[in-house]
Amino acid sequence: MSTKPFNLAVRAVIVDEQGRCLLIRRSAHNRNFVGTWEWPGGKADPGETFDVAVRREVAEEAGLQLELTGVAGAFHIEMPQMHLAVLCMEAKVCGGELRLSEEHDESAWVPLSELPKWNLTAGFREFAETYAKKNLTSEAHQQTKGART
């Protein structure tokens, strides 16, 4: 049995009116995963609820205020010093202006269908690809259903 602690991280799946999600690239100011892309977010502080944590992290990393709209899902990353449980929340922007902190050096609005083409952070890739497929399938089903009525 592992003696490494479990920590909680939160990510925001921020989708715009065109159905694109916000990705941000980790800068050289990070210890891990430099140059890879991810949804904005980070670790929850001790005693902090996940909804407060995701809003705080996104405000710090990207300058945006969020309205949380649902749970996208979760995944796990085993790191040398800890296990990281990552909870991903669906959200939309309700304020602020996109400006990156020093932890990230670039941003992009990416269609869900193109997520597999990006250099995504370890552990995140499989979850993001599954999430994109699920949402694209659901969207296609809604369009087909709408065309029949």
22-67: pLDDT as tens digits: 999 999 999 888 999 999 999 999 999 999 999 999 999 999 999 9
Q: Find the CATH number of the domain harbouring 17.
A: 3.90.79.10
- Domain span at residue 86 reads 6-148
114-131: pLDDT as tens digits: 998 999 987 899 999 999
Question: How many structural domains is the chain composed of?
Answer: 1
Angle at 37 between CA 90 and CA 72, to 5 degrees: 20
Instruction: Report the alpha-carbon distance of residue 46 to residue 29 in Å, rounded.
Output: 23
Query: 76 forms bridges with which residues in the sheet?
Result: 85
Q: Is residue 52 part of a domain?
A: yes
Cα→Cα distances 111→3, 38, 53, 123, Å: 39, 14, 26, 20
Q: Is residue 94 part of a domain?
A: yes
pLDDT of residue 136: 75
Query: pTM of this prediction?
Result: 0.87
Instruction: Report the alpha-carbon distance of residue 76 to residue 11 in Å, rounded.
Output: 12
The answer to whether 86 and 7 are in contact (CB under 8 A) is: no
Q: Is residue 105 part of a domain?
A: yes
Q: Is residue 59 part of a domain?
A: yes
Q: Is residue 85 part of a domain?
A: yes
The answer to whether 49 and 124 are in contact (CB under 8 A) is: no
Q: Is residue 14 part of a domain?
A: yes
pLDDT of residue 148: 47
Q: Is residue 1 part of a domain?
A: no
Q: Is residue 51 part of a domain?
A: yes
Q: Is the pLDDT of residue 149 over 70?
A: no
Instruction: Report the alpha-carbon distance of residue 144 to residue 34 in Å, rounded.
Output: 41
Instruction: Report the alpha-carbon distance of residue 39 to residue 118 in Å, rounded.
Output: 12
